[in-house]
Amino acid sequence: MPTSSRKIRLGFIGAGFIGQIAHLENYAQLDNCQLHAIADLRPNLLNQVADKFGIENRYGSHKELLADEQIDAVVVVTARAHTADVVRDCLLAGKHVFSEKPMAGNSEIANALVQLAEKHGLVYCVGYMKRCDAGVVKAKSIFDELMAQNTLGKLLQVSAQCYMGNSYCKAAGYIHGDEARPDMVSEENFAPSFLSDNNKSLFARYVNVHSHLLNFIRHFLGTKPSVEYFNTLSPLAHVCVMRANEQLVVLETGEVAQKNWQERCTFIFEQGQLIVTLPPALLRNVPATIELQQNAEVSQHTQFQVEWSWAFKNQAATFIDSVQNGNINSLISAKEALVDIELAEDIWKKLSN
């Protein structure tokens, strides 16, 4: 059911670095929501962050926060291994939910959360903010037109790379606090059972970093690719070959010891290419860049510059709008995020075979 046009009263679970920089700060700038409450297990950090953002209601645990009947929706930014349990509690309490990705350590848990949200008619979104990047939105419209008009001929192949560097871009303005982080269980405990013990932590890392690119590729192609090959000769380097419709998708991912963040996707047509280069996640107000290469009699290269904006703020607006309109099939819906975990599992099953 749609929520009225009044401001959405938000509860935040998690007052740490990402919660402050990527989420609290952006929701605080929206006119159609109110920062109503916040919960964290670290009392000093909780009060410092609440004071900074003018949040009156403060709770020492997420369960205390969920008992606040005035809260319409909750933003969950906890340690990844705890996300699914906290989200489950939020949904059972009848709250609309946004959580960071990955939504769960395996598809079985993720599917149960999606079904729970649908059962209660709740909006449940997951943080694949790159779908909300203004450059990505523009690139998607260009791609759709190229496909519909056959302007560059058939789409032959998709080539995507993410070599993870440092995405933090020296983000400043957050409160460190001097309290130890709460005890965290290992993400390996929630990895799919088909994986060997040695690969469970690698899978958790892969899903956390590279599910963004899986989500991006599916968003453009409109389908879940089938996996044909996967190999990792090192925990820091992976190659995957997939098939989507009539196209091959080659995905190269890894981690590098450098400050630069390298992430792009190239759509290769018979007569040209569409190249989307994605910025570091925490580089504020810098959207993805777009280059269109058309190899006709006269080769043309066109670059598109969209307005400066930040995907995280656009994502916050998307969630609030979805709650107000009762849109359970949001651009960043958990149902979509579930498919990314399923695809990641398909990829790593190829390695185990």
Does the pLDDT value for residue 152 go beyond 80?
A: yes
Euclidean distance between CA atoms 188 and 206, whole angstroms = 12
Q: Which of 26-35, 81-90, 113-122, 344-353 has the lowest mean pLDDT?
A: 344-353
Residue-wise pLDDT for 201-236, tens only, equals 999 999 999 999 999 999 999 999 999 999 998 888
Check residue 217 and give its pLDDT.
98
How sure is the predictor about 167, in pLDDT bands with cuts at 50, 70 and 90? confident
Give the mean pLDDT of the chain.
Answer: 94
Q: Which two tokens stand for residue 319?
A: 């969630």
CA neighbor of 348 nearest in space, from 163, 223, 158, 204: 204
Q: Which two tokens stand for residue 145?
A: 């037109």
Euclidean distance between CA atoms 59 and 42, whole angstroms = 10
* H or E segment and range at residue 340: helix 334-352
Residue pair 265/213 in contact by the 8 Å Cβ criterion: yes
Domains in the chain, CATH or no CATH each: 8-129+313-332 (3.40.50.720), 130-309+341-352 (3.30.360.10)
Q: Which residues contact 274 (CB under 8 A, 6 or more apart)?
A: 139, 142, 143, 146, 266, 267, 290, 291, 292, 293
Dump the DSSP string for 38-67: EE-S-HHHHHHHHHHHT--EEESSHHHHHT
Residue pair 210/253 in contact by the 8 Å Cβ criterion: yes
Residue-wise pLDDT for 72-92, tens only, equals 999 999 999 999 999 999 999
Prior bond of 102 cis (ω within 30°):
yes
Residue-wise pLDDT for 153-162, tens only, equals 999 999 999 9
Separation in Å, CA 299 to CA 139, 141, 147, 266, 295:
20, 22, 20, 17, 5
**Percent of residues, the chain, with pLDDT higher than 70:** 97
How sure is the predictor about 169, in pLDDT bands with cuts at 50, 70 and 90? confident
